């Protein structure tokens, strides 16, 4: 078998991969999307199934008011003492001198939970991970944030012992053990003990084109640490033609037979025909995905990526891989028969509740709340873009009171970058179809006074979005068979990490597609959705 990268397509960044027995697990970042921390499972490193989201209740994760790309950064999954341990960060401030955050620990006997109420750790810095030493001690290693303008804000990695009896860190043991290299921006650390050495794997360069992973080692856990010669361990900064870009920030795992693999975030840039493919290097609407590279150890005991530090697209699977049954692609249909949203659906910052609407019995009802720019009260469920080419279809019934009530199909990056096709009311009292876009906070109604009037005898409207790499389109139908394309070609660049990074410091997620109801007049207009389909 071959591992074909990326193994987790669409927004799945900062992978924390472990093995328990013959089973591998990957935990990935979710930022402001609820529930927090997705877990995928595999026995062959090739085929992966989404099995749970850990932070599925407000007691574990309260993100109301969190900024875009705040929330859950770089979770760390580990297994020790017969239990699963998850360390995670909830980031409350993105831009400016500060990164206010809270780091927590939760523990479970089973990967699917229940997970214990959170144990608050500290706010020293983000990307914490827990190392379980063979003498029974446990240590937290994390990025160290420094708000002082005369220092680099990424002020090395801090190591702090964790007291399992008192369930707290011991701040008196805190020590800065590693500063990284001249590339700076050191973050995302993990510690591994292999053949008598403590190895630190850490990301550097930021999660942009300069991203990389470095390795350092020491005979003592508190250093001093020696950098890997002829590094970095992995990067695509000097491989601009490679299919995979931005690799770094990941984790190491050993197979039962003694092979080694490294899971990394990565991205796949797209380009407009008119652009130089090196500058800009491209646009990544699918966000930061997950790749897996094979690792070998050189004669001096340093890890090396097979095929060179740029990595490979096709990677040999483990020799002891157990074939895993998993979906062949990302196609899916939801007819809303269950009274719970399936695992692929996400909401922003808070869980789906009766305030947003209800699901079950073959329909989804959404109660209109704030706009798609609202960070507090929003009735919107969404799932990741996972392919460069796909289409989604839904069927909606909606009777708006006025132009302030809207419901339809949306493509979304964050509160400042999105578009949608929706039903609303015009000034003459007609139900109409409109398409609008928000680009860096600038809102545009494309039809204005010429919105498409819906015939009076039509109760249901079908909406479709068609994505073709950087181009995407909307269509509508009154019967689900005969479709009319909206004469607009929209640019998926606006829904990419790289475009958002031009305007805002939080650019860590990816494009989503979903169903929304808005009624900022406060009259709670209700939209009914019959189904949702994702086709590839």
Catalogue the active-site residues.
14, 187
CA distance 38 to 61: 13
Of 425, 444, 421, which Cα lies nearest the Cα of 434?
Answer: 421
Residue 183 has what DSSP assignment? Answer: T
How many Å from the N-terminal Cα to the C-terminal Cα in the chain?
23
Strand partners, 49: 41
Following DSSP, what letter does each residue of 350-392 receive, concatenated?
S---TTTEEEETTEEEEE-BS-TT-SSS-EEEEEE---SEEEE
Are 335 and 479 within 8 A, CB to CB? no
Q: Which tokens in the block code for residue 105?
A: 């620990």
Q: For the CA atoms of the chain, what is the radius of gyration?
A: 24
DSSP state of 172: G
Record the tokens describing residue 133, joined without a space: 């030493």
Distance CA(432)–CA(308), nearest Å, equals: 56
Closest of 253, 140, 256, 157 to residue 204, by C-alpha: 157
Q: What is the dihedral of CA 427, 429, 431, 434, to 10 degrees?
A: 0
Contact 1, 44 (CB under 8 A): yes
Residue 64: count of CB within 10 angstroms of its CB: 12
CA distances 290 to 12, 36, 246, 425, 496, Å, are 6, 17, 11, 43, 16
């Amino acid at each position: 078998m071959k591992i074909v990268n990326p193994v987790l397509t669409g927004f799945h960044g900062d992978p924390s991969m472990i093995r328990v027995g013959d089973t591998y697990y990957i935990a990935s970042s979710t930022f402001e999307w609820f529930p927090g921390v997705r877990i995928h499972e595999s026995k062959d490193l090739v085929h992966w199934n989404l099995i749970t989201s850990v932070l599925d209740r407000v007691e574990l994760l309260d993100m109301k008011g969190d900024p875009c790309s705040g929330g859950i950064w770089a979770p760390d999954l580990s297994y020790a003492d017969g239990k699963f341990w998850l360390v995670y960060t909830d980031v409350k401030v993105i831009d400016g001198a500060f990164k206010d955050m809270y780091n927590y620990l939760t523990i479970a006997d089973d990967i699917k939970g229940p997970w214990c109420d959170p144990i608050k750790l500290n706010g020293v810095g983000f990307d914490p991970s827990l190392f379980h030493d063979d003498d029974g001690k446990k240590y937290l290693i994390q990025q160290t944030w420094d708000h002082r303008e005369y220092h680099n804000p990424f002020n090395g990695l801090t190591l702090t012992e964790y007291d399992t009896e008192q369930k707290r860190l011991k701040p008196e043991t805190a020590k800065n053990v590693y500063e990284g290299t001249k590339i700076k921006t050191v973050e995302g650390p993990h510690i591994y003990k292999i053949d008598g050495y403590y190895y630190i794997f850490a990301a550097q360069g930021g999660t942009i084109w300069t991203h990389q992973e470095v390795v350092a080692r020491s005979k003592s856990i508190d250093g001093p640490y020696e950098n890997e010669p002829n590094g970095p361990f992995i990067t695509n900064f000097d491989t601009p033609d490679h299919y995979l870009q931005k690799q770094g920030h990941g984790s190491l795992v050993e197979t039962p037979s003694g092979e080694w693999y490294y899971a990394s975030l990565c991205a796949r840039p797209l380009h407009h025909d008119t652009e130089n493919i090196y500058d800009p290097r491209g646009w990544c609407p699918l966000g930061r995905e997950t790749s897996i590279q094979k690792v070998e150890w050189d004669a001096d005991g340093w890890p090396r990526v097979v095929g060179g530090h740029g990595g490979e697209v096709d990677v040999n699977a483990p020799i002891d891989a157990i074939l895993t049954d998993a979906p062949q692609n990302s196609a899916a249909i939801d007819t809303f028969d269950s009274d719970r949203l399936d695992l692929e659906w996400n909401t922003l910052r808070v869980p789906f509740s009766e305030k947003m609407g209800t699901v079950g019995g073959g329909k989804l009802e959404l109660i209109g709340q704030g706009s798609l720019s609202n960070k507090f009260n929003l009735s919107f469920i969404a799932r990741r873009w996972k392919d460069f080419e796909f289409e989604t279809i839904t069927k909606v019934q909606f009777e708006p009171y006025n132009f302030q009530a809207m419901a339809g199909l949306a493509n979304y990056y964050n509160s400042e970058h999105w578009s949608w096709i929706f039903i609303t009311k015009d000034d003459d009292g007609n139900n109409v179809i409109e398409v609008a876009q928000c680009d860096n906070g600038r809102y545009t109604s494309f039809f204005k006074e010429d919105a498409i009037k819906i015939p009076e005898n039509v109760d249901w409207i079908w909406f479709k979005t068609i994505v073709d790499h950087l181009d995407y389109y909307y269509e509508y139908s009154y019967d689900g068979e005969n479709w009319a394309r909206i004469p607009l070609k929209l640019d998926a660049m606006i829904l990419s990490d790289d475009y958002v990074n031009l305007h805002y410091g939080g650019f860590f997620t990816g494009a989503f597609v979903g169903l929304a109801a808005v009624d900022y007049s406060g009259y709670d207009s209700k939209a009914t959705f019959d189904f949702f389909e994702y086709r590839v």
